Amino acid sequence: MTNSDNNRRYTATHVTPRGPASQFIKQPHSIWSGPIYRVRPSPWLAATISTMDSFLNLPSSPTLVTTVRPYLCHSMKNPSSVWSVTPPPVASKKRKRPENSPVEPKQKKQKPVQDAPRTTMCQPPDALGQHLGRSLAKAFPKMSQLERDDLVIPESSIVDTTTFTLERTDSSLSEFITSTCPTLASRIAQRPKHHAAPTAIVLAGAALRVADLTRAIRPLKGESGGEIAKLFAKHFKLKDHVAHLAKTRVGVAVGTPARISQLLAEPDALSVKALSHIVLDLTFVDTKQRSLLDIPETRVDTLRGVLGHSRIRERLLNGKTKIVVF
């Protein structure tokens, strides 16, 4: 081909591609064969570029128009430089940080920690009776009023604990019992007469809470008091607890409502003939700020499985067993 060929109006037929279009970008030099021609600006330049776009299967975009096409009008001595052109940088919307400024770690937003609701357990017996009645309605919304009346806790069976003004925590439980229920404190220090017949039942909402309350009550038993039994389903089977209670003189049974209700349902597993008090732990709340009567599962087990059990219900109505709200 002579030098006079440079003056001709060349079209895209002079460009011979090698391989699929996906290789054109990876190996831009492979699309050119033979000598490199100079494309002169002329009226047919737009038609030539359009033909090359469709032949090379190039995308039609503003970036291609502003970056690749102007280079087609230039002397193509190095074709790979045409394909190595990068689009102009897009302006970042983020504000740049000064070079010498220290990098400060982002602080996570902390949820406000709510104080545990401590007003319920400090109320007089009439207000506590109403609170238990509302919890009963939440636990059994489909139950008729006549059926709920069979589970209502009588106000006369609730101990008045308003005289205790200290903060109610697990560490102050022993002092709370001594101050508000001196009769119960003296009974805990005595040796039980029968196996599996505690003088008090303490209901807690979680297994870890059961362990904490067990340690808090243990100083009250002294040297001659009965065992402070931990009763919850975690790591312990029901038959193991039944066998343990059958051979143990228990002074206080601390457990979850589910396990206590299961033991009451078993024949001769847990006797109530020496039961004088039932302590409801409403002081403790979980991570969702729910107490013993706020969690649906523990609420049902407490009101129907334990307090609503026929043997305990009879003792509550006769005044032989009292309810203590801690």
pLDDT digits (tens, 9 = 90+) for 115-139: 444 555 678 888 888 888 888 888 8
pLDDT of residue 253: 93
Under 8 Å between Cβ of 169 and 283: yes
Residues of the chain with CATH 3.40.50.300: 125-325
Span between the terminal Cα atoms of the chain, in Å: 105
How does pLDDT run across 230-283, given as a tens digit for each residue? Answer: 998 877 889 899 999 999 999 999 999 999 999 999 888 999 999 999 999 998
pLDDT of residue 80: 46
- How far is the C-alpha of 207 from the C-alpha of 217, rounded, in Å? 16
Would you say residue 200 has pLDDT above 90? Answer: yes
Would you say residue 96 has pLDDT above 50? Answer: yes
Backbone angles phi, psi at 205, to 5 degrees: -85, -10
Q: In what order do the strands lie in the sheet with 322-325?
A: 227-231, 250-255, 200-203, 277-280, 322-325
How does pLDDT run across 6-29, given as a tens digit for each residue? Answer: 444 444 444 444 444 444 443 444
Could you give the residue ranges of the DSSP H alpha helices within 90-193?
Answer: 125-139, 145-149, 173-180, 182-188
pLDDT of residue 75: 42
pLDDT of residue 249: 92
What is the Rg, in whole angstroms, of the alpha carbon atoms belonging to the chain? 42
Band (pLDDT 50/70/90 cuts) for residue 171 is: confident
Under 8 Å between Cβ of 230 and 210: yes
- Bridge partners (DSSP) of residue 280 are 203, 325
Give the SS3 label for residue 150: coil
- How far is the C-alpha of 182 from the C-alpha of 184, rounded, in Å? 5
Token representation of residue 251: 């002074």
Under 8 Å between Cβ of 300 and 294: no
Determine which of 9-13, 88-92, 184-188, 249-253 has the lowest per-residue pLDDT on average: 9-13
Determine which of 76-80, 87-91, 142-146, 265-269 has the lowest per-residue pLDDT on average: 76-80
- Of 80, 24, 82, 9, nearest to 56 by C-alpha is 24
Band (pLDDT 50/70/90 cuts) for residue 146 is: confident
What's the CATH class of domain 125-325? alpha beta
Instruction: Give the chain's length.
Output: 326
Under 8 Å between Cβ of 196 and 243: no
Name the average pLDDT for the chain: 74
Would you say residue 300 has pLDDT above 70? Answer: yes
Percent of all residues in the chain with a pLDDT value above 70, rounded to a whole number: 63
